Amino acid sequence: MKDIVRAALTIILVCLVLFFVNDLLNKNSGKAGSDTVTIYNWGEYIDPDLIAQFEDESGYRVVYETFDSNEAMMTKIEQGGTSYDIAVPSEYAIEKMKEHDLLLPIDHSKIPNLKNIDPYFLDLSFDPKNEFSIPYFWGTVGIVFNPSLLDGQTFDSWDALWDPSLKGQVLLVDSAREVIGMGLNSLGYSLNSTNEKELQEASEKLNKLTPNVKAIIGDEVTQLMVNEEAAVALTWSGQAADMMWENEELDYSVPEEGSNLWFDNMVIPKTAANIEGAHAFINFMLDAEVAAQNADYVGYSIPNAAAVELMDEEVTADERFYPTEETRDNLEVYNNLGLEMLGVYNELFLKFKMGTN
């Protein structure tokens, strides 16, 4: 009998140890429940002071992790493991996440600061009625360039990148949608084209750009442009703004044929452990003063009309980064192309990259 009792006590003790170890692991991996808000965001995409402010004001502890692509973010959320309460995907990724049932609907009654968002940025095609997403930042894809290293070239047209005088001077972001989209736009086609003939034409035109391409890279493009090691780069508007802050010689242009208008948005993944805290964080980030401070730190354009009123007019009046509604109407949001067509884009991009090596 004593052996049975001893065995039972041992089993209970082991179970208690496993419970506490599991609880500790869950807290360390973001599964901390009602006392913690676990956020999954792009790198350098929030003012750290605001995280501390939110913790002080809300009483929640923030666990903050970063990703470097929508695809990596979606894969990790789909696999589970960490109960992210907030993620910040782009518009086409939201469509995919909705398809895969990875998002929870947002309770607008818990986000009174939603009234601060410019109506232009609400009820967009990728999420009608903002059922699953709340706008965070937005911007464009365009060309950053250094006039002091050029012979008077301007970049009102994508075709300017093909100028023979730019041999070995053009940097491209390492992203299929941006590069293939640029090729399509330069021909007057939609950057969401699924037409085989149009995609082949764009691929052939991009191949002719090869002599001008210095490198196809990621975040390194910022320092290369700031240090004047290249004259021109395809990049996102916020990244261009960072470059221009460090090197006043630089300028930014969105070609007249059209380009990408992108939106990053706050969502609540279906595996969230703290839905109440997620709503509190979203509402906090939509506060006018908070959003203005965040925009000043990050450098990207914000959809928060109340915050824009508090910001430096020299910044918000700059149409390179806050283009007019008329200009925006000539831009396109990336559509979710589907797995098969996305594979076509990636294959064309890979062939182009191999040709530049």
Give the start-end residues of each E strand in 288-343: none
136 labelled ligand-binding? no
Interatomic CA distance for residues 137 and 265, integer angstroms: 7
Residue 258 main-chain phi, psi, to 5 deg? 115, 165
Interatomic CA distance for residues 94 and 103, integer angstroms: 8
Expressed in angstroms, the distance from the first to the final Cα of the chain is 76
44 labelled ligand-binding? yes
With tokens 């182009």, the residue in question is: 352
Interatomic CA distance for residues 285 and 138, integer angstroms: 15
Residue type, 241: A
Q: Which of 130, 139, 141, 140 is nearest to 286 (CA)?
A: 130
Tokens of 202: 């764009």
Interatomic CA distance for residues 43 and 5, integer angstroms: 54
Interatomic CA distance for residues 308 and 123, integer angstroms: 20
The helix or strand, by DSSP H or E, that contains position 178, with its residue range, turns out to be helix 176-186
Interatomic CA distance for residues 162 and 153, integer angstroms: 11
DSSP symbol at 170? E
Binding-site members for spermidine are: 44, 92
Output the known binding site: 44, 92
